[in-house]
Amino acid sequence: MLKPTKHSEPSTDARPNRNWLKDHGLLLANAGLFVAFLGGMIISGAKTYSEEQQTHGGSPVGILEYITTGDFVEAVFENWESEFLQMAMYVVLTVFLFQRGSSESKPVDKAAPQDEDPRDAGKSAKTPWPVRRGGWVLKIYEHSLSALLGILFLASFTLHAIGGTSAYNEEQLSHGQATVSVWEYLGSSQFWFESFQNWQSEFLAVAVLVGASAYLRERGSPESKPVAEPHYETGA
């Protein structure tokens, strides 16, 4: 077999040829499913809301009118809130806590690449700019994932409260009762019931994945250990 000449060797600094769809397939698939399911929620939600309005002597609403209602805002952000809380807590907890044998945990008995101090890393043109910049920029960047998820949780939590207040007040008015402020709704059992019923399910799902990944496998998935790897082997 002929050895490639020096001229034919690819440059280590050259950006490799990429198939954009393949490179971003996981993100695109999830974004597409999100749009499809959100659309289904809007269409079915508008129909259900209209039926409820007519039951109480009101008029049906169109899709554009429905997405401005407290009923829609509360339903959407109540769910988003729990998802972002789950992911934010998961990112933070996996910094400090371990689960022996789980593919979702860092190794228990040896150092993990994620713990390396970026200030000690060799820097090149490929190194992310915040790492090359250092200082307060790097300090923010090394915790930017949990920060983003935390901000999205707080934003969803706030919109859940605002939308929930609007939906609650609409129900109160239909029964000739007094309305409440956002702060009053935040202190109600109704708001916390809506939150806790979603939060508990999110952390149950995480606990099942963390525990089951120690003993069960899914060939080809990065969320699973290699099929032949022992149960006690932890991490990727």
What pTM value is reported for the model? 0.86
Q: Is residue 113 a contact partner of residue 227, using CB atoms and an 8 Å limit?
A: no
- State the sign of the Cα–Cα–Cα–Cα dihedral 41, 44, 48, 49: positive
Give the pLDDT confidence of 31-88 residue by residue, as tens digits.
999 999 999 999 999 999 999 888 877 888 999 999 999 999 999 999 999 999 999 9
Separation of alpha carbons 230 and 92, rounded Å: 27
Question: What is the C-alpha to C-alpha distance for residues 107 and 115, in angstroms, rounded to an integer?
Answer: 11
Q: 94 and 169 in contact (C-beta within 8 Å)?
A: no
pLDDT digits (tens, 9 = 90+) for 119-145: 998 889 999 999 999 999 999 999 999
Q: What is the pLDDT of residues 187-229, one digit of tens each?
A: 999 999 999 999 999 999 999 999 999 999 999 998 888 899 8
Q: Tens digit of pLDDT for each residue in 76-92?
A: 999 999 999 999 999 99
The pLDDT score that the predictor gives to residue 17 is 59
Cβ partners under 8 Å of residue 203, min gap 6: 86, 89
Task: Report the amino acid identity of residue 107.
Answer: P
Q: Is 42 left (phi over 0), alpha (psi -120 to 50) or beta?
A: alpha
Check residue 16 and give its pLDDT: 57
Stronger pLDDT, 10 or 38, i.e. the higher one: 38
Q: At what angle do helices 70-96 and 144-174 cross, to 10 degrees?
A: 150
Average pLDDT of the segment spanning 4-33 = 72
Q: What CA–CA distance (Å, rounded) separates 102 from 88?
A: 19
